[in-house]
Structure 1
Amino acid sequence: MDSKTPTEYSARLREIAGRLRQLEGSAPPGMTADIFTLYREMFRASFAASLVDAFPESCRHLSPEIWEALVDNFLAGGECPNPSFHAVPDAFFRFVIQHFADDPPLPDYLPALLHWEWLTLTLAIAPNDIEECCAADLEQLPMQLANTARLQHYPFAVHLAVEPPQTPSQRDCYLLVYRHRDGAVFSRELELPEARLAAALANTARTATDAHALAFPAGEYAVAWARKRLQEWCAAGILQTTTPNSCPPPASPSPP
């Protein structure tokens, strides 16, 4: 076999893929226009369907023309080195945010909504091989948010589904987005004191007492109140026992 054949084959695949991503791409040499058009339509339909599955609410709040334009722009100018289940939505999310001002007029809540849906998908498939905590661990072991939990602030209530033409209400929302022990991903809206307590455990492992002291240095809330919240979060699989030197959960990009 010619040693150049694999390289030439890879180049051929890249050429075909590049043409498939262009809305009006012409057929590559050796392929008829009809066959190429069929391939392109099948590829684009499958690709678009995968993004609708990943971002159903964002798609629902945009007109079909604007959503299709976003997908077309991403196919033409975006990069996705890994065609895996999660890599494509991840690349699409980052592309739309990066080019937000360049795309068709988009609602101001869209970045937050896209981020929330992206985060929900990310946590649904995130590995979690670290031991979850139980109520008995609250004082004995340091703990922090699990690999499958994130504390996020959004300027819109993107977690509350509304029917178009209604839009997510604009207000500060502190969400604890997490994968429950049963595998489902939930978004729990927190009051500001609860958000302060969760923030104390977001990046550093601490005992319940230390987390309370950091969140409420003036003693605004009792230790018993904090312990009760932490017990609830332990039961839901939101916290994991760890050591003070453990790595924090991977950071997620903040919504614009």
Structure 2
Amino acid sequence: MKKWHELAKARMKELKITQEALSVHMGVTQGAVAHWLSGRREPSLEVIAKVLQFLDLPPMSINTDLVSRRGKETESNAEYLGEMAVWDEADPLEDDDCEVPYYAEVEFAGGCGMTEVVEVADRTLRFSIATLRAAGVDRKSAAVARLRGRSMERLILDGAAIGFDRSDTNIIDGEIYAFNHEGMLRVKYLYRLPGGVVRIHSENSEEFPDEYLTAKQWQEDVRMLGRVFWWSTVRRSPKQR
């Protein structure tokens, strides 16, 4: 069965359409068209569909070929690492395990509605020491918290546990950090701007636009907790929802 570019070349010869004419119609260079028609480079499916439409070739001329081509490109995108080790809070720590402290927003006594970010004394999360070592994080500097809200979706989902490195508090543009912003525990991308201004950016920037804090606001209102190096989300089975 002929491939799409072979059908296209035959049709162009039949209609006396040059590569130059096709390149002008597609808004690309003649060299790009030459690569497509020779099979050396494969354009996107949308581009292929536009070429066939321009040459008045029926869509079925390409569908079978695309299915075949997609099949050839199918490849594994995961690696099986083994079964999960299950443990309970009462179980003793294994040699490769450690417990890291848990941070959360808590309301001040008196019910005034104000919150503060504190280390919760009776809550920890177990981590593999090998995992921390691979992330370049000292176990004494690691801590965890839970993200709330949709501002970091699709990257980090609502309810995800995050791990952060309390020794890594200097802002590197584009890294994700956990920080205490006037009693609110926040997890965001941070960027340094001229004049000491800090840009706060959300993954879901369409719903949560960028914020900017002056150097004074950052110094007075923010306490850095650390760079985020890990996150995990538990997805409940649809049968249990």
- Report the TM-score range of the alignment, normalised by the length of the smaller protein: under 0.3
Q: TM-score, normalised by structure 1?
A: 0.21
Q: Which has the higher helix share?
A: 1
Q: TM-score, normalised by structure 2?
A: 0.22
Q: Which has the higher strand share?
A: 2
Larger C-alpha radius of gyration, 1 or 2?
A: 2
